[in-house]
Structures are given as structure tokens and as C-alpha cells.
Amino acid sequence: MGIRRPTRRQFVQLAAAAFSGGLLGTFSGCGREQADSSGPAGSPPSECDDTVGLSEEQRQARDAVEYVSVTVVEGQRCDNCDFWEPPSRPDACGGCEVVEGPIAAPGYCALWVAMS
């Protein structure tokens, strides 16, 4: 018997409550894929930090979950998170089911959940 994983809906509702103001209600439907302009070897494409196409509310929500394009937690990265949406090309940004905007494979945020 282990910890029961919440449904995606329950997770987003809990997260929205935790981050007050319901910011996570705007996180649906990301998965932006961007063109390549990779930086130095091993770094994510620079477009993965580009939030120009997002609304101010979406940018604030992204900041609220402390998204970063290079993880700060060993072993926890966007591309091993259950919410990860991989790009169709390895050199492009991926997406996320709960955080809006382009997402870098080596990125991380406070909503990270181990891939099931």
C-alpha cells in the first residue's frame, strides 16, 4: 500500500489553492514547440525561456511555480516529470500539461511529479 496519487484535476485544484489566487487555473494546454537555437552544448534552447507570447497572468503563474530552464534538484527534471510533453524534435522545447509556455527538458518547477 502506497501513497495514492491524486487525479490531475485534484492536483491542479490543490496546487491552485496552495499558490493562492488560483493562478494554476491558467496552466492548461501548453506544449509549445519552438524552433531550435540551442545555446552552448548541453544547455536548453534559448527559446525555452521565451515568455513573450504569454499573458502577464500566465507569466506570473509560471513564476509562482518557480519554473527554471535548468533544474536545481538533482534527479528531478522536466523530462522525467509526469506532466512533461516531449517535443517532436530533440533540439526543440517541450511543453507541460500544467505550466504554460515552452519548457526545457532539463528544467524544473515546484510541481514536479515522478513520471509514472
Of 45 and 67, the one with the shorter C-beta distance to ligand SF4 is: 67
Which residues bind to ligand SF4, rule: CB under 6 A?
67, 78, 81, 83-84, 96, 98-99, 103, 107-109, 111-112
CA distance 29 to 61: 14
Exposure on the CB side of residue 35, measured as CA atoms within 13 A: 1
Q: Identify the three-state secondary structure at position 72.
A: coil
Shortest approach of ligand SF4 to residue 24 CB, angstroms?
A: 10
Of 1 and 88, the one with the shorter C-beta distance to ligand SF4 is: 88
User: For the chain, give me the number of helices (H) and strands (E)?
Assistant: 2, 2
Shortest approach of ligand SF4 to residue 49 CB, angstroms?
A: 12
Shortest approach of ligand SF4 to residue 108 CB, angstroms?
A: 5
